Amino acid sequence: MYPEPYPQQPYPQPPYPGALPPPVQYPKRGRKTWLIVAAAVAALAVVIGAIAAVAATGTREQTAGGALTEASAEAAIQDYLDALTNGDDERVARHTLCGLFDSVKERRSDLALANLSSDAFRKQYESAQVASIDKMVRSSPTQAQVLFTMRVLPASGSSRNAPTETDEQAVAQLLSIDDEILVCSYLPRTAGQY
C-alpha cells in the first residue's frame, strides 16, 4: 500500500589529495605576557572606576542645590504663582523658558507672552497659595510633573460664582537646572461649567 522506501546508500567520501598536514604547534605564552595582560585589565578597571566616581559626584552636585522634593516643588510653584499675581513678567518668562532665559537674545515676545499670562491669571484670581502637593511624578532626577492644590481667592470682577476662597487643582511641569527649580508649564484643572 505504501511505496517502498529508497534503499540507503552511503555517501561517497572524496579522497584527500595527499597526506594530512602535521598539527600546528602554537607557542606557549610566558608568565611575562600574562602579567602584562593582568596589569592592563587592572589599570582599565581603575580608570573606569574613577570615571564613574566623577560622574556620580557631578550628578550629586548638580541636583543637590536644586533637588526636586515636595518642599522644593511647593516653593517653586508658589514663586511662579506670586510672579503671576504680581505681574512680574521677567520672573514668569524665566520660569516658562525653562532654563533658556539667560541665553535668549531677544526677549520681547517672551515678556509679552508672560504679561498676557499674568493678566489672565489676575483676571481669574486675586491671590493663590499652594495648599498641598497631591502627587509628584518624576521622569528623571531633574524633571517632574506635579499635581497640586492651590487655595485661591477669585478676582472681584471674575465670572466665578464663589466669592470666597476655594481650593483648585493644577498641574505643573518642573525642571531643576543650575540650582533653581523652574515651572516650565502650568495648567489649572478647573471644575467650571463648559
Phi-psi region of 108 (alpha: psi -120 to 50; beta: other; left: phi over 0): alpha
Helix (H, G, I), strand (E, B) or coil at 169: strand
Whether residue 59 sits in one domain with residue 91? no
Encoded amino acid at 124, one letter: Q
Rounded Cα distance between 108 and 61, Å, is: 34
Output the tens digit of pLDDT for each of the chain's 194 residues: 666 666 666 666 666 677 777 788 877 766 666 677 777 777 777 777 777 777 666 544 444 446 788 999 999 999 999 999 999 999 999 998 888 888 888 888 888 988 988 888 888 888 899 999 999 999 889 999 999 999 998 887 655 555 688 889 999 999 998 889 999 988 888 765 44
Whether residue 100 sits in one domain with residue 35? no
Whether residue 185 sits in one domain with residue 112? yes
Assess contact for 132 and 152: CB atoms under 8 A.
no
Whether residue 87 sits in one domain with residue 50? no
Place of cell 510633573: 145
Question: Strands 166-177, 143-154: parallel, antiparallel or unpaired by DSSP?
Answer: antiparallel
Whether residue 181 sits in one domain with residue 106? yes
Helix (H, G, I), strand (E, B) or coil at 98: coil
Main-chain phi, psi angles of 40, to 5 degrees: -65, -40
Q: In what order do the strands lie in the sheet with 180-189?
A: 125-140, 143-154, 166-177, 180-189
Place of cell 525642571: 175
Look at residue 59 in the predicted model and tell me its pLDDT.
47
Look at residue 52 in the predicted model and tell me its pLDDT.
75
Look at the chain and report how many structural domains it folds into.
Answer: 2
Whether residue 107 sits in one domain with residue 54? no
Q: Which domain holds residue 58?
A: 31-64
Look at residue 9 in the predicted model and tell me its pLDDT.
62
Look at residue 60 in the predicted model and tell me its pLDDT.
43
Rounded Cα distance between 112 and 52, Å, is: 45
